Amino acid sequence: MSGDRSRHLTAVECLMPGPPTADPAERKPVQKACMLNSKPPLTLGVYPFGIVGGPRGAVIGPPDDFTRIGAAIQGLAGDGPPLVMRLYVTYEGDAAPALDLVAQFAQFGSLVDLSLNYHDRAGNVERWCSFVEQVVQRHGANLGSIGITNEANLRDVPFAPDGAYPNALEALVDGILVAASTKRRSAANAAIGFTAAADVDPAANAPFWLRVAERGQMAFASALDFAGLTLYPGGFTGPADLAAIAKRTTDSLTAYRAHLSAAGIHPSVPIRVSECGWPTGPGRTEQQQADALSTIFTTLIGLQHELGITHFELFTLRDAQSASQDNFGHFGILRDDYTPKTAYDALRALFRAHRRHPAETSV
């Protein structure tokens, strides 16, 4: 998901947030305004780039237009604080190119939620931990947060998730321990955590978390500042069934908190929804996407206090390739030419209402 490294340096000025922008007068939200009450609002974020990793490999469309990305992100944030940027660096066994990309992303500063993805086919965890140590040592004082592995528990899908690569569990646990140790003895203040995939079958995933507890013990649990989750309820199965999407959202987050407890992770460690999306594409309309994402978001608000959820990060801002027959090309709330889909205005209205009255949401 890292995209073309040569283009990212030019993105820094374009994507740095300017003053909050008022909602454009000419745009009318397609969803009714939301009525919300009082609770600390979620931290909101988005993956901004146009390359997406999937089970059949990467989907790549037109080059990123950083000026239009910046404008779209500011429009989505409206009059609220800048959105967090969820960014990815994939480590494939050679630290040098990955460290170069981390250095580029670190220029965005504390707005970056950086995921270090473990894709080492050799399964060399010691070398991976050395890479993690260097990232935290060099950039932990600049980045907002550093995630150690992404979807290490997802073992049956090729290419994209870290669980497809050997020794992913060890890379997760040992990487967290190294990151936390490096943070303690350096000037780093970035939050340290990881991101797992939501269950398809909670019972089948339970042994993974018991193994995490066995390997990491209390040192692992006490090292965490957050536990992230990738959440795509109904994202890959037919048209939008909103009741089923709401139930799947609730079940996935509830099961995740239970898994964390089984791994010895205290309920005070917050859950971040680090990736969340629902694509358009063949057989899926823009209105269905808007309704699905609105349902997920409003369901999340209702679970925020009970489950300790602090972040909602959208995947993705724009389509990787709007003409693709692959659903992974259609996760954006913008098309690949940066024109808005229905969901852009729907989420913009929800985000604005949530910031103003952050508790219960009705659409």
Q: What is the pLDDT of residues 18-58, one digit of tens each?
A: 544 434 333 333 333 333 344 689 999 999 999 888 777 78
**Interstrand relation of 57-60 and 51-54 (parallel, antiparallel or unpaired):** antiparallel
Give the total number of structural domains in the chain.
1
Q: What is the pLDDT of residues 139-159, one digit of tens each?
A: 999 999 999 999 999 998 888
Query: In a 3-state reduction of DSSP, which class is residue 100?
Result: helix
Report whether pLDDT(202) > 70.
yes
Q: Examine residue 238 and state whether it is found in any structural domain, yes or no.
A: yes
| Alpha carbon distance 247, 234 (integer Å) | 10
Q: What is the pLDDT of residues 122-145, one digit of tens each?
A: 999 999 999 999 999 999 999 999
**Tokens representing residue 171 in the block:** 């890379």
| Alpha carbon distance 88, 105 (integer Å) | 9
> What was the pLDDT predicted at 15?
63
Report whether pLDDT(359) > 70.
no
Among residues 141, 161, 142, the alpha carbon closest in space to that of 153 is found at 161
> What was the pLDDT predicted at 165?
97
| Alpha carbon distance 259, 311 (integer Å) | 19
> What was the pLDDT predicted at 283?
87
Burial class (CB within 10 angstroms; exposed 0-12, middle 13-18, buried 19+) of 19: exposed
> What was the pLDDT predicted at 37?
41
Q: Examine residue 16 and state whether it is found in any structural domain, yes or no.
A: no
> What was the pLDDT predicted at 39?
66
Q: Examine residue 106 and state whether it is found in any structural domain, yes or no.
A: yes
> What was the pLDDT predicted at 94?
97
Report whether pLDDT(210) > 70.
yes
Name beta bridge partners: 85. Answer: 46, 112
DSSP per residue, 306-332:
HHTEEEEEES-SB-S-TT-SSGGG---
> What was the pLDDT predicted at 23?
41
Q: What is the pLDDT of residues 65-80, one digit of tens each?
A: 999 999 999 999 999 9
Report whether pLDDT(255) > 90.
yes
Q: What is the pLDDT of residues 180-199, one digit of tens each?
A: 999 999 999 999 999 999 98
CA angle 289, 295, 300 (to 5 degrees): 130
Crossing angle of helices 202-223 and 168-184, rounded to 10°: 20
Q: Examine residue 318 and state whether it is found in any structural domain, yes or no.
A: yes
Q: What is the pLDDT of residues 262-318, one digit of tens each?
A: 999 999 999 999 999 999 998 899 999 999 999 999 999 999 999 999 999 999 999
Ramachandran angles phi, psi of 270, nearest 5°: -70, 150
**Tokens representing residue 209 in the block:** 């978390």
| Alpha carbon distance 49, 274 (integer Å) | 15
Report whether pLDDT(104) > 80.
yes
Report whether pLDDT(238) > 80.
no
Name the residue range of residue 61's domain. Answer: 33-356
Mean pLDDT over the full length of the chain: 89
Q: Examine residue 25 and state whether it is found in any structural domain, yes or no.
A: no
| Alpha carbon distance 278, 169 (integer Å) | 27
Q: How many helices (H) and strands (E) does the chain have?
A: 10, 10
Q: What is the CATH number of the domain that holds 62?
A: 3.20.20.80
> What was the pLDDT predicted at 38?
47
**Interstrand relation of 84-91 and 112-118 (parallel, antiparallel or unpaired):** parallel
Q: Examine residue 2 and state whether it is found in any structural domain, yes or no.
A: no
DSSP per residue, 170-238:
HHHHHHHHHHHHHHHTSS---EEEEEEEPPSSHHHHHHHHHHHHHHHHHHHHHH-SEEEEEE-TTTTSS
Neighbours of 273 (CB within 10 A): 28
> What was the pLDDT predicted at 55?
74
Q: Examine residue 121 and state whether it is found in any structural domain, yes or no.
A: yes
Report whether pLDDT(229) > 50.
yes
Q: Examine residue 292 and state whether it is found in any structural domain, yes or no.
A: yes
